[in-house]
């Protein structure tokens, strides 16, 4: 004879199906990682913005890493964005990725 267990209404049975857990976790992460398009300041070309957003949404990169990769691949050599990539200083273009104390350009000038 098979025994049945009676659970209270608010009881959630543990799920051992790791695949469904991973799918639900990744969909939660993707939903929480939507990008605010106002994080860019200054003149940033649309292709670099789109590549940055793609890196953040598809590859789960942080803003600074995603923007660095986009600048490395798409910024024309000698441009201000290329110089920002060369000096690894994107404060002018994505200030939200930096501590506010370092946004004082008189105290901490840009290297380019």
Alpha-carbon span 61 to 33, nearest angstrom = 10
Q: Between vectors from CA 70 to CA 34 and to CA 38, what angle results, nearest 5°? A: 40
**90 domain residue, yes or no:** yes
What pLDDT does residue 31 have? Answer: 44
**Is the confidence at residue 17, as pLDDT, over 60?**
no
| Residues above pLDDT 90, as percent of the chain | 66
**79 domain residue, yes or no:** yes
**Is the confidence at residue 25, as pLDDT, over 70?**
no
Q: What is the pTM of this model?
A: 0.69
What pLDDT does residue 105 have? Answer: 95
**10 domain residue, yes or no:** no
**61 domain residue, yes or no:** yes
**60 domain residue, yes or no:** yes
- Token pair 């799918």 is found at 23
Which of 2-6, 42-46, 50-54, 76-80 bottoms out in mean pLDDT, i.e. has the lowest? Answer: 2-6
**73 domain residue, yes or no:** yes
- Token pair 């994107």 is found at 90
Indicate the average pLDDT of the chain.
83
Cβ within 8 Å of residue 12, ≥6 positions away: none
**C-beta of residue 43 within 8 angstroms of C-beta of residue 92:** no
Note down the domain range covering 75: 38-103
């Amino acid at each position: 004879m098979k025994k049945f267990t009676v659970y209270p209404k608010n009881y959630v049975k543990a799920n051992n199906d790791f695949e469904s857990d991973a799918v639900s976790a990744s969909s939660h992460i993707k939903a929480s990682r939507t990008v605010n398009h106002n994080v860019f300041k200054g003149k940033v070309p649309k292709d670099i913005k789109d590549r940055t957003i793609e890196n953040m949404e598809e590859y789960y990169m942080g803003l600074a890493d995603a923007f660095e990769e986009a600048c490395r691949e798409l910024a024309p050599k000698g441009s201000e964005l290329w110089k920002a990539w060369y000096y690894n200083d994107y404060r002018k273009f994505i200030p939200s990725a930096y501590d506010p104390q370092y946004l004082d350009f008189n105290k901490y000038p840009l290297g380019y």
